[in-house]
Amino acid sequence: MTTRSCLSIILAAGEGTRMKSSHAKVLHRIGGLPMVAHVARAAEAAGAGDISLVVGHAGDEVRKAAEGFAPKAEIFVQSERLGTAHAVLAARQAISRGYDDILVMFGDTPLVEADSLAAARTRLAEGAAVVVIGFRPPNPTGYGRLIEKDGRLVAIREDKDCTEEERKIDFCNAGLMAIAGKEALKLLDQVGNSNAKGEFYLTDIVEIADKAGLAVVATEASFESVLGINNRAELAEAEAIWQNRRRRRAMLEGATLIAPETVYFSHDTEIGTDVLVEPNVWFGPGVKVAGGAVIHAYCHFESASIGPNAEVGPFARLRPGADLRENSKVGNFCEVKKAVVEKGAKVNHLTYIGDARVGAGANIGAGTITCNYDGYSKFFTDIGEGAFIGSNTSLVAPIAIGARSYIASGSVITEEVPEDALAFGRARQKTMPGKGKELRERFAEAAKAKKKSAAE
């Protein structure tokens, strides 16, 4: 298989009107990745060396997105919607280069598995000219049936055209197809449009190939893997299937998910062995969790790195650039953004750390914030190794807190603190006996007068 060249043609020209969206259907996301990108990944995993994207509606939007998930993909435009065979032929230039195998896929089937595609390619290598990927749905009504005879696929019959006997067939057309490269253009060019819609249907090549004496066969994929997405409800169903696959993979690879159904992964989430994940955790794109880490309940992560044996949460948020090193801790109701929390450092509760470094072994008290933004620019806070930051402290950046220094609770620190120093940044307490009673009486009278005035 490795010696056979392969082109994957992904049809992504559908308008997706049932999605009720201003965006192209194939760009709606599963696991944080556009549907069409999932399809491209499956094609690559099945050995497709080259990818052609056939776009139509929102073609520029799809083209721009493709730069991120398939930068080498060749874009072809289907200017008119004249059927699936017409869409495939939009990539005629690519097909004519002489690939051994051609995979025809759809940008709205994000759950397709590489194994199903590889199985179809294997049949091509064994001599088939056309391989149709089929599936067995719970209810075949409405699907085209795969009509087989003596191990050959002789036709794809639409449900409305089936005889009563053919309607009993539960093996249905998934739409995905593999075609021998040397036969592809000859077969596609024979597809006509003598039908009610005047369109060129890819499925017609089955009968064309069979009549030409070429081998046409069907392979089987799971119902889930060929699920097409047409609306938001089906998108949610596909997301649920994808998440279940990903959760299972994480657990089989050595992570413990206490309540798997409440944990949500992204397409690029990396989870190490012996990681413990408690319920209700969201892994956004770009998150890496090293072995032995503990993720407590109700956490939200995005573009963050969690080091070996680190501990996070509950109710913690790691924003882009958060980098928690070995044995560090970020506790409940804490937020970390674009900051390094070095080995053994602790940010235990009710704290915001942004644009900062928290040195190894440092301790950040409850209610501490790094004041990193002046309304125009962001500034950096450097907290040295072993520093102790007392509760309810504001560190006004840019600022450096020296190693092993001690910041008194309730301080507002605006100047550099050297190593091993003690810093206070708060006003001296003043107590005025009886003044509290006087204030309460004054406020009560003012409130009473306001209420009386409103009534009049």
Judged by average pLDDT, the poorest of 191-200, 302-311, 353-362 is: 191-200
> Cis peptide leading into 71, omega within 30 of 0?
no
Distance CA 1, CA 88 (A): 23
Question: According to DSSP H, which parts of 71-173 are helical?
Answer: 84-89, 92-95, 114-125
DSSP string, 13-67: ----GGG--SS-GGGSEETTEEHHHHHHHHHHHTT--EEEEEEBTBHHHHHHHHH
pLDDT value at 2 more than 70: no
Question: According to DSSP H, which parts of 132-201 are helical?
Answer: 181-188
What is the length of the chain?
456
pLDDT value at position 242?
Answer: 97
Judged by average pLDDT, the poorest of 213-222, 259-268, 292-301, 425-434 is: 425-434
- Burial code of 190-216, b = ≥16 C-beta within 10 A, e = fewer? ebeeeeeeeebbbbbbbbbbbeeebbb
pLDDT value at position 368?
Answer: 98
pLDDT value at 189 more than 90: yes
Q: For the segment 98-148, what is each residue's pLDDT rounded down to a tens digit?
A: 999 999 999 999 999 999 999 999 999 999 999 999 999 999 998 999 999
> Cis peptide leading into 418, omega within 30 of 0?
no
Q: For the segment 200-229, what is each residue's pLDDT rounded down to a tens digit?
A: 999 999 999 999 999 999 999 999 999 999
User: Is 349 considered catalytic here?
Assistant: yes
pLDDT value at 1 more than 50: no
In single-letter form, the type of residue at position 193 comes to N
pLDDT value at position 24?
Answer: 87
Distance CA 434, CA 90 (A): 87
Distance CA 364, CA 358 (A): 8
For CATH 2.160.10.10, the residue range(s) in the chain are: 245-423
pLDDT value at 254 more than 90: yes
For CATH 3.90.550.10, the residue range(s) in the chain are: 6-226
**6-226 CATH:** 3.90.550.10
Read off the pTM: 0.89
pLDDT value at 432 more than 60: yes
Closest of 203, 185, 9, 190 to residue 98, by C-alpha: 185
Q: Is 3 helix (H, G, I), strand (E, B) or coil?
A: coil
Distance CA 189, CA 206 (A): 13
Reading the block at residue 37, the tokens are: 């990108």
Task: Work out the burial of residue 165: count CB atoms within 10 Å of its CB; fewer than 13 is exposed, 13-18 middle, 19 or more buried.
Answer: exposed
List C-alpha distances in Å: 406 to 347, 382, 402: 15, 14, 9
Reading the block at residue 55, the tokens are: 């776009």
Task: Work out the burial of residue 29: count CB atoms within 10 Å of its CB; fewer than 13 is exposed, 13-18 middle, 19 or more buried.
Answer: middle
Topology of 245-423 in CATH?
UDP N-Acetylglucosamine Acyltransferase; domain 1 (2.160.10)
Contacts of 386 (CB under 8 A, 6+ apart): 359, 360, 361, 362, 403, 404
